[in-house]
Amino acid sequence: MAIILIADDDLIVLKVVRSILVKAGHIVMQANNGQQALELLELQDVDLIVSDANMPGGVSGFNVVSTIRKDPKFKDIPFIFLTARRDKADIVKAVQFGANDYVVKPVKPEVLLSKVANLLAKKKPKADAG
C-alpha cells in the first residue's frame, strides 16, 4: 500500500485512476490542477505522483515535476505522466523534465498498476528524522 497523489483536470480520468489505485490497495489523494497538487504535497507525504501533462491554471504537469525535482524534500518522489500525448518528442520532454515513467490515455489498468508497482519497488527509503 502506498499514498499516491493523482492530478488531472479531467474529473472522469481522476475517478477512473482513483478507482484503479484504490482497488489495488493504495490510498489516493487527488488534485484538479497542478497548483493544487503542489499544495497537497506540502500537507501530506506521498509515495508516488501520477499527473496529467497539460492542465489549466498556469501550473502544468511539467511545472509540477520540475518544481518537485528542485526541492530536496520532494525530489525523490517517483513521478508518472498520464497523458494523451504519445509522440516520441513528448515522452522525451517528460523524461527531461524529471518524470520516471509515462502512461498514455486511455488508461489500461494493468499498465498503470505495473508501472506504479515497479516505481514503488525502486523507491529510496526515507531517511529517519531522528
**Among 102, 116, 90, 100, CA closest to 18:** 116
SS3 76: coil
**Grid cell digits, residue 19:** 478507482
Predicted local confidence at residue 57, as pLDDT: 83
d(CA 77, CA 65): 10
| 63-104 confidence digits (pLDDT tens) | 999 999 999 999 999 999 998 877 888 888 888 999 999 999
- Phi, psi values for residue 19, rounded to 5°: -60, -45
Mean pLDDT (the chain) is: 91
Q: What's the average model confidence in pLDDT over 21-37?
A: 97
**Among 66, 19, 15, 67, CA closest to 39:** 67
Q: What's the average model confidence in pLDDT over 1-11?
A: 96
Least confident of 82-86, 113-117, 126-130: 126-130
pLDDT classification of 129: cutoffs 50, 70, 90: very low
Radius of gyration of the chain (CA): 13
Q: What's the average model confidence in pLDDT over 26-31?
A: 97
